[in-house]
Structures are given as structure tokens and as C-alpha cells.
Amino acid sequence: MRIFDPHIHMTSRTTDDYEAMHAAGVRALVEPAFWLGQPRTSVGSFTDYFDALVGWERFRAAQFGIAHHCTIALNPKEANDPRCAEVLDVLPRYLAKDGVVAVGEVGFDSMTVEEEKAFVRQLELAVEFELPAMVHTPHRDKEQGTRRTLELVTESGLAPGMVVVDHLNEVTVDQVDEAGCWMGFSIYPDTKMDEHRMVAILQRRGLDRVLVNSAADWGRSDPLKTAKTGAAMLEAGFSADDVDRVLWRNPIEFFGQSGRLLVDPELPDDASTGADASATFEGNSILRGSRD
């Protein structure tokens, strides 16, 4: 099973996690820029964080044979702090980098005016830099937040296929599906969304435009939830090719739209060969540029 985790915060994880992920088949991932638990109070701490996402964390992942990508944005929670508003001005530098495969996480936390302003501005940046957008949906009042999110996406002019709306559940999936956006599901070790409910959603609406992630971070979470969802799919009668589609080809297709992937999309589908996804990043094969 080859796995691309499209949403995981490795900065908060240990090297044991990297080892276990590689053993489970994870060969590539996307780390979205997000809230660190402790609110930041200045632009400098954001730039240091962004530098780590395109620097140290990428290096660290490569040591474990995993290709690390990231998304860059001012997250909705901190968009509410006026001391952080200037972060929006430094984003273009980072959105130009290799391995930065989307603008994100953007969206709503508490549905404030400030959040909406930052969200709209960052959707504009996605259009300008020809990047996909990764949109976080609020944990509270998810349905209303998702509705407003989709309105703003439509107004932005960003193609729905360039947008993934994340942390969905049974209540929010259909409106995102109808809008033509990609659907992200975060599988948690608690009641928010588990692998069996995930399988039920896949059985009901199919595998198109679905991304499954662990969203593992500094909270209670499990970086192997992608692999566990793959196992649950097989148990429920999905084929190995279906699993590959959801856990590898779908994220490659979505983030490949950025033209910034640092992993070989044709990586051999066999975790046991020990094929090293970071090989392309380390420079063992010539990967030619695509668009741009």
C-alpha cells in the first residue's frame, strides 16, 4: 500500500512516527501551515515557522524516505489577531517555492469579519499563484461554516476542482460534493470521524475527489489513520486498486495541479521494496519541471 497523507502536521510529531508511517507505506505527505496551539504574536514567528516547513521539516522527512510538501497561509484562528495581519504580506515569497502545493489552511474558525477578510484575500493569492486552496471547516457550526465557505469560493473565481474543503462529515459532504470541490476527511481516534464511517461514505458516493488524511498534530491523533482506513476499505470489499486511488492517486491528482510536487507520481506500488519517495528530492533521478 503506497500512501500520500494529504494533511498531517509533522512539526508536532516524533521520529518514531516517521518510522511507523514509512513502515505503513507512507511515502509522501502535505503539512498545512496551521495554528501551533499557542497563539503567535508577531510576523517573525510565522516566517520562522514557514521557513521550517520548507527547510528543516522537509529535510527531516527525507531522512525517513518520505517526501514532504506543505501549504502556506495565515490560519483562520490567528487571522483574528491584528498583530498577525501582516503575515498576509509575506505569503507571496513562500507561495513561489517548490514543494508548496497549496494555499492553506484557510477558512473559518469562529466566522468573524477578520476571518472572512483573510480568507478572501488568500483565495485571491491562490488564483494569482495558480495554486489549489486547502480550506479548513470550523469544528463548531460546521454546516453553516461550510455553506459560507462555498459561497466565497464561488465568488473568488477559483475553479472548484482547485479547492479541497477539509474535515468533512456526513452532514457537510453533500454540499461540497455538489459544488464540485474536493472533499477532505480527517480520520481521528475519537468520534469526529472514524475509518468505518469513512468507508460508509465511500460506499455511498464513490471515490471521486475524495482525500483521506490523519490530520495528526499536537493533539490526540494517529498518524497511521490513513493506513487504517485503507485496511478498513479492503475489509469492506474495496479492491487494492480502489485503496491506491484514494490514498495515493487522488492526492497526487489534486496537489499535482500546483506543478510543485517533489515526489515521483509513478512511485512503485509496493511498500516492501523500500522504494524511497524522497529519492527524487535527494536528486537520484531527474524530475523535469511541468507547468509554469
Q: Residues in the site for other proteins, rule: CB under 8 A?
A: 51, 54-56, 58-59, 93, 96-99, 259-260, 280, 283-290, 292
Q: Contact at 8 Å (CB) between 3 and 226?
A: yes
Nearer to other proteins, 156 or 280 (CB): 280
Minimum distance from CB of 56 to other proteins (Å)? 7
Minimum distance from CB of 128 to Zn ion (Å)? 24
Q: Alpha-carbon distance 79 to 188, whole Å?
A: 25
Crossing angle of helices 87-95 and 113-128, rounded to 10°: 20
Residue 25 interacts, among Zn ion, other proteins, none and using kind-specific CB cut-offs from 5 to 8 Å, with none
Provide CB contacts within 8 A for 236, sequence distance 6+. Answer: 199, 203
* 64 near Zn ion (CB under 5 A): no
Residue 124 interacts, among Zn ion, other proteins, none and using kind-specific CB cut-offs from 5 to 8 Å, with none
* Cis amide bond preceding 105, omega within 30: yes
Nearer to other proteins, 103 or 199 (CB): 103
Q: Alpha-carbon distance 16 to 275, whole Å?
A: 19
* 108 near Zn ion (CB under 5 A): no
Q: Alpha-carbon distance 189 to 225, whole Å?
A: 8
Nearer to other proteins, 92 or 157 (CB): 92
Minimum distance from CB of 89 to other proteins (Å)? 13
Minimum distance from CB of 278 to Zn ion (Å)? 22
Q: Alpha-carbon distance 195 to 193, whole Å?
A: 7
Residue 20 interacts, among other proteins, Zn ion, none and using kind-specific CB cut-offs from 5 to 8 Å, with none
Residue 34 interacts, among Zn ion, other proteins, none and using kind-specific CB cut-offs from 5 to 8 Å, with Zn ion
CA nearest to 32, candidates 117, 136, 113, 180 = 136
Q: Contact at 8 Å (CB) between 116 and 155?
A: no
Minimum distance from CB of 262 to other proteins (Å)? 9
Nearer to other proteins, 60 or 147 (CB): 60
Cα four-point dihedral sign 12, 54, 121, 85: positive
Residue 266 interacts, among other proteins, Zn ion, none and using kind-specific CB cut-offs from 5 to 8 Å, with none
Residue 113 interacts, among other proteins, Zn ion, none and using kind-specific CB cut-offs from 5 to 8 Å, with none
Question: If residue 69 lies in a helix (H) or strand (E), which one and from where to where?
Answer: strand 67-72
Minimum distance from CB of 36 to Zn ion (Å)? 11
Minimum distance from CB of 132 to other proteins (Å)? 16
CA nearest to 6, candidates 188, 277, 254, 274 = 254
Residue 286 interacts, among Zn ion, other proteins, none and using kind-specific CB cut-offs from 5 to 8 Å, with other proteins
Residue type, 241: D
Minimum distance from CB of 215 to other proteins (Å)? 24
* 34 near Zn ion (CB under 5 A): yes
Nearer to Zn ion, 34 or 50 (CB): 34
Give me the residue whose beta carbon is nearest to Zn ion.
Answer: 34
Question: In Å, what is the CA distance from 209 to each residue of 180, 219, 259?
Answer: 8, 27, 18
In the chain the first and final C-alpha atoms are separated, in Å, by 32
Residues that bind Zn ion (CB under 5 A): 34
